[in-house]
Each structure stands twice: as structure tokens, then as C-alpha cells.
Structure 1
Amino acid sequence: MLLRDALGETLRDARTSQNRTLRDVSTAANVSLGYLSEVERGRKEASSELLASICDALDLQMSDVLDTVSRNLRTDSRIAAAKNRVIANSSKPGLGGGGDHRSVDTNLRIVLPYGAGRAEASVA
């Protein structure tokens, strides 16, 4: 995820949680409605001055917004890394792929529903 996507998502979430319209925030921030929309959709990079103005209009601390963006990027990065591990594991023998892999991935877990693989107990 790009920084501008994460920033736009965070700003949109803040605006919508306050039940405010793009028009309301764009007027308060003294930025065009179209440009604010582009920032929220991650299509435009917000300058530090523009970001400060939007944060003021939303009555938010810029540091809090950037902290939220940072956490979201970190979470997204971890999800992407986990997906990459799953894709890498799928090429191991017995998992649908080929190749000669000698290492064991300790993060790989196989979960079976309770009772799966167990013989039915007889009731006397």
C-alpha cells in the first residue's frame, strides 16, 4: 500500500466518522472539493501544508493522523508478508508444487476440524 492510499483512507475514515461531507471539510480546509476527493482516494499526494489544513478542518492532530497511517501501513505490510509466506509454502512438495525444499517452515500450521481423522468411538 502506498503512503498516499493509507493517508487518504485515514482522512476519509475520520471525515465519515464525523458525519461530514467532502464539501463541508473542503470549505473548512480552504481546498477544492475535487482535490480533497482525489487525496482521499489516494490519487493525489497531500503536501504538509494541505495535510495540516485538512487536519485542522477535521479537528485532528496531524501527529495522530500520521500515527494511524503508520499503524495501517505496518499492518498492511505484515498481511502482505504473510501472504508471501503462504505462496512460498505452496511450492513445497506435497502442497501442489514442485521443487526440492529441505527447510521446514515453523509458521505453517494445519488445522483439522475436531474429530477429523479420529475413529468413531463405539457406545456400549
Structure 2
Amino acid sequence: MVLLRQELGDVLRDLRQERGHTLRQVAGRASVALGYLSEVERGQKEASSEILASVADALDVPVSQIMRQVSDRMATLEGITAHPFDDMSGIPDTIPDELLDDVDRYVPSAR
């Protein structure tokens, strides 16, 4: 069984280490007890949304990026290999001028 808290802890640890920060530095910046943050990183404790936001801020990483990484890891572990919109090869990367004209007509500040 894939545990969200374990994957979240792994992502937080990876991000902290990639940035060259110690657990003590991040705990101090996030105003989180060192032992508690250690338990979160090891997947032993759940992180509240407030704690997650504080740690994300201390790491200078958006919470959405952390959650995306956690989601991607969980999907891989669950055997889901791709997001539904990852393969957009069949969709043109340009918008026809006629459609852009319509957008300009209805939303002048869109471009």
C-alpha cells in the first residue's frame, strides 16, 4: 500500500537535500520542531497543511510543486505511467487566426 505521508516525507527530504539545507536549518526557518520535521520526512507523522506550507516556504518551493511531485511518485508506485494530458502530440501547438480574432472580439485583453 502506498502511503501519502511516506511519499510526502521523501519529497520534502529530497528537496531539502537538493538545496543543501540541514534538517535543523529548515525546521528553524519553518518554525517547526526539529524532531517533528524529522518524523515527517521519515513518513512517521502526517504533516498538516499549515506545516506543509511553512516547510515549503522555508525551502522556497510552492506547495503545488511538492504535491505534484508526491502525486507523480504515487502514480508511478500505483502503476499509473502518465497523466491524461501528458501526450498532447495530436493537438496542434498553434491557434488558428480566426479563433484568435474571436478571442480578441470577446476578451480584448486576452493577448
Q: Under a length normalisation based on structure 2, what TM-score does the superposition of the two structures give? A: 0.70
Matches of residues 19-38 of structure 1 in structure 2 within 5 Å? 19-38=20-39
AA of the residue aligned to 1:77? E
Find the counterpart in structure 2 of residue 13 from structure 1.
14
Q: How far apart are residue 73 of structure 1 and its match?
A: 0.1
Q: Which residue of 1 aligns with 2:105?
A: none
* Greater helix fraction, Structure 1 or Structure 2: 2
Which structure has the greater CA radius of gyration? 1
| Structure 1 ranges of 4+ moved more than 2 A | none
- Listed as ranges, the gaps of 5+ residues in structure 2 are 81-111
CA-CA distance at 1:45 after TM superposition: 0.2
Match for residue 98 of structure 2?
A: none
Aligned to 1:75: 76
Task: Classify the secondary structure of the residue corresponding to 2:78.
Answer: helix
Q: Counterpart of 2:75 in structure 1: which amino acid?
A: R
Q: CA deviation at 1:65?
A: 0.3
How much does 1:77 deviate? 0.7
Give me the whole-angstrom Cα distance separating, in 2, the residues matched to 1:59 and 1:6.
Answer: 19
Two-structure CA RMSD over aligned residues (Å)? 1.0
Provide the residue aligned with 1:39 in structure 2.
Answer: 40
Partner of 1:53: 54
Shift of 1:51: 0.2
Equivalent in the alignment of 1:85? none
- How many residue pairs get aligned? The number is 79
**1:40-72: CA deviation from partner (whole Å, max 9, x where unpaired):** 000000000000000000000000100000000
Q: Which residue does 2:103 correspond to in 1?
A: none
The percent of aligned pairs where both chains have the same amino acid is 54
Question: Secondary structure of the equivalent of 1:78?
Answer: coil
